Structure formats: C-alpha cells, structure tokens
Structure 1
Amino acid sequence: MIIEGWSHQSFMGLLDLIGNPPLILMATAHSFSFLTLPFNNPENPSYVPVLWTANTDSMTFWQRVTNTIQYLTYYWSFMQTIELEDQVRHAQLDKKYIKRSLRQIFEDDPRTSFMISCDSRITGYVRPVQPKIVEVGPLHLVKPKPLDQKLEAWLNGAAEGVIYFSLGSNMRGSSMGDFRRKAFLKAFARLPAYRVLWKWETDNVMEGQPENVLLRKWMPQQDVLAHPKVKLFMMQGGLQSLQEAYNYGVKVICIPMFGDQDLNCQRVNKIKTGIALEFNDLNEENIYQALKTVLENPVFSENMQYYSALSKDTPMSPMQKSMWWIEYVLRHEGVAHLHSGAADLSLVQYYLLDVIVFCMAILISAGIILYLTIRRILRGLLKISTAIRNENKLKKKIK
C-alpha cells in the first residue's frame, strides 16, 4: 500500500482490512519531524529546522529555543489530528471495519514499512536518515519538450536573457495587489535588455505593461527553464520548482508565501544560488536591486552551476531509485530487517538519561567519599599537629 505521507493518515485505516501489506509512505515534500518519528529517525531540533520555519541548520540560541518549541507543538498537533480523525471513523463506520486506532497503526506499522521522500540534499540540509527512509527527489522531472514557435522566437530575441516569473499553482500572480504589481513592472522596465516571461492568470490587460514583459496564463515550466536564454527564475520557493531550477541551472529569486517555502528560500540564501525577498517588503527598488545582484554577481552563477552538477550526479535516476526500493519492499514483504532498536527504547533509555544519572551518582558518590576521606585525614593531621604544639609548650614551661 502506497499513500501520501502528508495529512493522509486516515488511509492507514485500510491496512487492517486488506491483510496488512507492507506500507510505503510517500512524502511529496520534505520528510521532517513528525512524519519520520515513527521510523525512529533522529530529528534533533538543535540543527534540524522545523518545516514551517525560516530557520537553517545554523541557528542562534533563540532560534533553537523557538525551533524546539515548534517541533514539540507540531508533533502534539499532529497526534491530536490523528485522534480527531479516529473519532470521525468511529462515528461513520461500523465497528467491524475498525481493528486498531490510527495512532496504533501510525506508531506500530513503521516497524515493517518504508518511506520515500521527494526531498534531496541539494534542497534540504544534511541530517541523519534511517536506512528505510530514502530520498528520491527530484522525482517529477521529465525530458523538456520544444516550445511553440512564437514563444521560442520571443525568448531567442532577448538581448541579455530572460527572467521567468511564476508564483506556482497555489499563489496567483494576479492576487498580489496593484502596489506590488506596479513595483514589479517598474523594476522590469529598468532592465530593458532582459525580457520577462510572467505567468499571469487573468485575461485582463495589465496597465503599464512594459514592452519587455510577456504575459501568459499558463507555462510549460520545465520546458521554459530548459531554454538557454532563461537566466533567472522568480518564484515562490516551492520544493518542486526549486528542484527544477537546480536541474536546469537557473538562478532564483524566492518570494516565500506559505508552507515549506520559507525553509526552502533560506536554503537558497545560505548557499547563495539566489536571493530571498519577503512579500511584505516588495517595492520597486528592492526588486530591482535583487534582480541586478543575482543577474550580475558571478558568485550566484558559479554556485548554481556547482549545485546543478551535484543534483544530477546520481547513480540512478529518481524514478529508477523509487521503483527499485518499491520492488525491494515487495520482494522481502516489508523491511522489518531495517527496524531500528531505538524503537524499543523508552525516552529515558533513548536519551541515556538513566546512564547519565548512574554516572552522575557514581561521580557524586566518589566526590563525597573523597571529600570525607580528605576531611578525616586533615582532622587527624590537625589533632597530631595540635598535640605536638601542646607538648612543645609544656617542655618550654618545664625548662
């Protein structure tokens, strides 16, 4: 059974009804935090950023405090959601269809199940990963197709290159408001040698549209990014769009909106393959300066080419890797042999709290014994010294 790992835990209730086959969770975004906890994957919040934050793997003290609090909060919220889903199941289904609670399934079945994550070490941070969690991103890439002749000719006509601007499928560019729309147009007009291909979802005529800007309601994104004239991708920081940018070696300007986009954009900032801009800070000058910086500073081009080469240097394609592991799970009827002993430990044992207490008790006991021994020796020496002094005084008096 293969199901989406993000917010689709209700489907786990089907496992008991279909003979408890091996389960494969598929995380189409990052595989952080609560999704990997049942697999006993170490998710230390001191350096593993929570998905919904703008933290990196190098956090200040207060970032580590807030990251830890959010880590615990999201896990608690996630488990509460599973409990609420169970209440709905019990209210709507006959009891004969309910063998175990969703929480029991979620915590027990990862002993034999597997997880496929569409993340990669290019778009994510280095962290420990259990052998039954396999990263296969970018899984969605396809071979680019030729563009239509009109768009191809327009792209080829750009003197310096093309800026591709799309905020993805969830955020409509037409919903950004007049102030920011005009800010983008004015910034683009200040770069006449570049052409701007803008995904704009309405048929309305855009007031003040410069000659170097072309609007289209939909774009074959991978085909556009594969075009050699495309020099910069302005985007919202979605994982799949970022993976496409790295694959085709196109520098980025990120404008995060929601979900994992803050995390993704801060990764871009850290490795300098582009720049992240906050939506609330967007104005003509900020947009223009970001465009100029990323387009003209060679550091961004060099870094993007480096990470683009890394993203493609794999022993097999993401699709081949995914299929191999799915077939592996089928061949061996699960992955119980990859079960970590950490799952059988309590929190006290896992974090070695009992060992720490034991060692501390020995050290404290040794310290107390040493203190008492030294104290007794010193008292004995003091008594001898006092006796000698008294004897000397007595001898002086007799003389």
Structure 2
Amino acid sequence: MSIRLVFFIVCNILFVNGSNILILATLPSPSHHIWIGAVTSELAGHGHNITVISPDIDKNPPPGIHYILIENQYTDVNRQFLKEMLSAPGATSLIQDALAMFKVRTDICEAQVQTNGFKTLLNYPDNFKFDLIIHDYTCGPCHLPFAHKFKNPPLLGVTGYSNPSFMPLMMGGHQYTAYIPHNALLSDKNMNFLERLTNFPIYGLENVYRQQFFIPAIDTIVQKSFGTNIPSVSELEKRTALAFVNTNPAMDYPAPLSENIIPVAGLHIKDPKPIPSDLKAFVDSSNKGIVIFSLGTNFRSDFLPEAKQKLFLEVFRQFPDYHFLWKFESNLPASNLPKNVLIRPWLPISNILADSKTKAIFFHGGLLTTQEAIWRGVPMIIMPLGFDQKQNLMKTKRLGISEGVDYFSLSKAELKKTLHKVLEDPLYSINALKWSAKFRDQKEKPLDRAVWWIEWLLRNPDCDHLKSPVLQLGFIVGNSYDIIAFIILLVTVILIISLKIFGHCIRKCSRNIYSKETMPHKKFE
C-alpha cells in the first residue's frame, strides 16, 4: 500500500467530522461528471468527506473531495463506437437500439477492472469505514462489489439518465408499458395498439437479456477481482436503499414512483454566469439572435463525416440574420466558415442559453442539455443519435418546444425548413417559457432535495420500510402475472370442457333426431 494512500486513510479516520462517503461514478462521460459533480461539491460543502472513483476528475477539487482516477477511458479505441455510429449509412434496428448499452457497459466494466484506479480502491482495507456509498447505476453494477467489500454501508443509487427501464429490476415497482415508451421507440405516451404491441415485447426482451446474459457476464468479470464468494451483482443492486432519477413532470411522462425513488431533475443547473467577452460580442452582433449547435460531450462534431459538416455550414449560411455558435472540438479552415458561424472547442452552453439573444439550440438531444434548455426557456431542434435521445425529442415535441430531424436521412432542405419553423414561429418560444416556469416552480431546489435525502439516509440507514414489496415478491408475482395466467388457464379449461359437453350434446341430439323411431321411412342398416 502506497504512503499516500496510508496518509489519506489516517487523515480520514482522525480529522474528518462529517460522514465518509464513497461515490462510484464510473461512466466515462464529461457531462455525467458535471452532473454528479454538483452533488459531490454540495456534500463537501456540508462538511462530508468524499472519495470519488471516476474516469473524470477535477484538477482543483474543493476541500473534502478526494479523487481516484480510472485512467485511460477516453482513448481512440474507446471512442471508436461513437465514430462508427456517426459514419453508419443508416440507423440501427429497434432491437440493436434496445440492447446496445449492454455491450457498452460490459466493455467498460472489462476495461475498468484492469485499471490502476480500480486496483487502488480494491487495495483499501476491508474494514475501512464508509458511512454511505453512492453508486451511479447508469453504467451498470460493475463496481457494486465494493459495497460488499466495505461491509454493506447504506447504498444510494443515482443517475443522470432519466428513469431507466431496468429500474423495477433493481428497486421493485412496475414497468408501465401501456404509456411509457421504451427509449428505442419514436413514440410518445399516447401509443396506438401497434406501438404498444411493439413496446411490451421490447421491455420484455431487455429484461430477459439483462438478467440472463448481461448480469452473468458482469458477475464473471468482477469475480476475477473480488473472488467467487461475492454475491451476484443482481443481489447487490437490490440492496439499494434510495435511488435518484433524473425526471420532472414538466418534461417526463407521469409515472408512479416508489417512496424510495426521488426525482431530482435539474440539480446540475446553476445560476448563469457572464459569457466570455469574445462570445458575447459575437452574440450581440447578430440581427435576430443566435443558435447554439452542439453534439454534447460524448459525440463530437469532429467525428462527423465531412459531407455532414459541409451540409450544416451550407444551411447555416442561408440564415444571415442569425449567428451560429458551433461546439467543434478541432479546427475547421476559416475559409470554409460563413461569417455568421463561430466555432469553439468548448462552449459554456448553460450560460449562453440564459442570454436573451439565444433563440434556439440545435443538438443531439442529450438529457442534461435538454433540461437546461427547458429551464432557460429556449426552443430546440433535436437530431437524435442514440441512447435516450429519441425519447427526449418525443417528450419535448409534445410540449410544443422542439422539432426533430433525422441524422441519417438529413437533407439541406429539411434542415433549413426545420430551423426556419422553430426560429420564426413565436409559438415555440411562448411554449418554452411556459414549460420553463413549470419546471422551475418547485418547493426547493433539486440539488437541495438531493442532499437532504442523502443526509436523511445517513441518519436513517435502516429504511427497508420504503422499499417496494415487488422486490420481495418477484417480477411474476409482483405484477400478478401468476394470477393472470391462472385465470387464463381456468377460462381455457372451462371453455374446453364446455365445448366438449356442447359437442357431446349435439352428437346425442343428432342421433336422437335421426333414430328409427323419429324417421321410420328411412332405411337403416
């Protein structure tokens, strides 16, 4: 064990007055790091000591936060699947969309257990005391055996990824397939029969694949590090006492939540800061306003094929009264840029959204930016690329605050038409401000709510009374599928018996009708 690690552990034991909290934030995503970072910083401000194992770290963390880096998670090899998605000739199939994240999560787990960061935490003494473990379950249960290693302190699950479809398998509860469409579908809550006929088996397929293939694969990977005596990660995730979901009824479909599932959408949104002077000058010099163009922190604009880059620039050129701020991670030749387009490798998007001259954001539909746009009251043009982005489009489109374009079939005419529609029709801005007011109108700030529940769990570690009974009943009994099956079986048996009795009566009546006594004129052999 290194001297640095020993020193850190001793300091934790001797000098820390707040609770000792371990955060397993293992998803390689800068945007998710920002999301979980809001919680981390606030907890440190409350006097707690935070240990974060993550592929992302802050260079100058505030006092009370210690990072363990999961290194080498942003290599070209790890980014290759994103490049392939943007270069593909067409969209993937519905089943591929539904199951894509399982392969990603498995690959991430396999890579991370071999890192020095993972081994650093693994080398902590088993009796090291953490008062609470916060687990970002977006990336799956790969790191949950650490909860078992550290003697099962209270476990809190968090995600920046809406309300994942696998939540009932982890927390109990139900999947409302009649009106909650799967992320792979371009449907809203008002699904017709055929859409529901597709939605129901997609959920079922995902459940079966997760439990029968994904979970055993993760078990096999983690047993190489933790030993074969650890419980399955499926059992470990069911020990989650509370879970945060990144939802709010101003945007998301209404769905009942168990008492131990807390909605915290918007917790990462802060009061806006001034825009850098060079960007502000470009914004203010526009005639009608500006449009932000960004593909987020995972998909990169410089991953786009050259033909797509040219398409966007040619369309932007046709809106001279608007200026376009494009988050482009490398350089484009200045000669190729229209005068109304400015590229930057990074943009303070949340702050720019708060500027009165921002008229729309054109982006991939990532949830965190979607929430920021709604919070700031800015209309959207969404071009879904994968994951939950189709549903973010459908949710906002039904509110009248967005329009969508298809990345793979996109034409200059379609993009120009959609941009013109959102920018020139004032109804989109009116609706955006209306839903912004609904999103903001909460009894407390989402971050304050999150921290309150975290500290509540520290005060009340034994809170099984909040858990859904479905967790103990199991999927089949908890959803009354056994009762439904019994009733179907009973009705089927009664129907079969009734048909047999009816057939027997018909045959008997027929014999009586055609007997010698009733038909004396007919010759019987």
CA distance in 2, matches of 1:329, 1:309: 31
Contact 2:243 2:261 in 1 (8 A): yes
Q: 1:90 to 1:238 in 2, by over 3 A?
A: same
Asked whether the equivalents of residues 5 and 25 of structure 1 are also in contact (C-alpha less than 8 Å), the reply is yes
The alpha-carbon distance between structure 1 residues 363 and 151, as it changes in their structure 2 partners (threshold 3 A), is closer
Task: Report the 3-state secondary structure (helix = DSSP H, G, I; strand = E; otherwise coil) of the residue aligned with 1:6.
Answer: helix
Give the Å deviation of 1:163: 1.0
Whether the 8 Å CA contact 1:196–1:213 is kept in 2: the answer is yes
Give 1 or 2: higher helix fraction: 1
Indicate whether 1:85 and 2:201 are aligned. Answer: no
1:214 match: secondary structure: strand
Asked whether the equivalents of residues 268 and 276 of structure 1 are also in contact (C-alpha less than 8 Å), the reply is no
State the SS of the aligned residue for 2:362.
strand
Aligned to 2:110: none
Residue 317 of structure 1 is matched in structure 2 by 445
Query: Could you say what secondary structure the match of 2:420 adopts?
Result: helix
Query: What's the Cα RMSD here?
Result: 2.8
TM-score by length of 2: 0.65
Q: Does 1:179 align with 2:312?
A: no
2:160 corresponds to 1:28: yes
Using a 3 Å threshold, how does the CA distance of structure 1 residues 125 and 208 change in structure 2: closer, same or farther? same
Displacement, 1:359? 10
Partner residue in 1 for 2:370? 242
Q: 1:11 to 1:353 in 2, by over 3 A?
A: closer
- Name the aligned partner's letter for residue 11 of structure 1: H
- Which amino acid in 1 is paired with 2:304? M
Contact 2:469 2:478 in 1 (8 A): no
Question: CA separation in 2, counterparts of 1:76 and 1:45?
Answer: 15
CA deviation digits over 1:91-112, x for unaligned, max 9?
Answer: 34445xx3422222234x14xx
Residues 354 and 309 of structure 1: is their aligned pair in 2 closer, same or farther, counting only changes over 3 Å? same
Q: State the shift of 1:334 in Å.
A: 3.5
Residue identity in the other structure for 2:383: I
Q: Between 307-316 and 329-338, report the one with greater CA deviation.
A: 329-338
1:187 to 1:34, Cα distance in 2 relative to 1, 3 A: same
Give 1:299's aligned residue: 427
Residues 103 and 353 of structure 1: CA distance in aligned 2, closer, same or farther (over 3 Å): closer
1:314 CA displacement: 0.5
Question: Which shows bigger deviation, 273-282 or 334-343?
Answer: 334-343
Distance 1:212 1:59 in 2: 41
Which residue in the other structure is 2:259 paired with?
A: 131
Amino acid at match of 1:64: R
TM-score (norm 1): 0.85
Question: Could you tell me which of 233, 239, 254 is aligned with 1:102?
Answer: 233
Between stretches 198-207 and 323-332, larger displacement belongs to 198-207
Q: Secondary structure at the match of 1:163?
A: strand
Q: Does 1:336 align with 2:464?
A: yes
Percent identity between the two aligned chains: 26
Q: State the Cα distance separating 1:336 from its structure 2 match.
A: 0.9
Structure 1 position 269 matched with structure 2 position 400: no
Task: Point out the structure with max Rg over C-alpha.
Answer: 1
8 Å CA contact 2:145–2:226 kept in 1: the answer is no
For residue 280 of structure 1, give the secondary structure of its aligned residue in structure 2.
coil
Aligned residue pairs total 372
Q: Give the aligned residue type for 1:212.
A: N
Which residue type is aligned with residue 179 of structure 2? Y
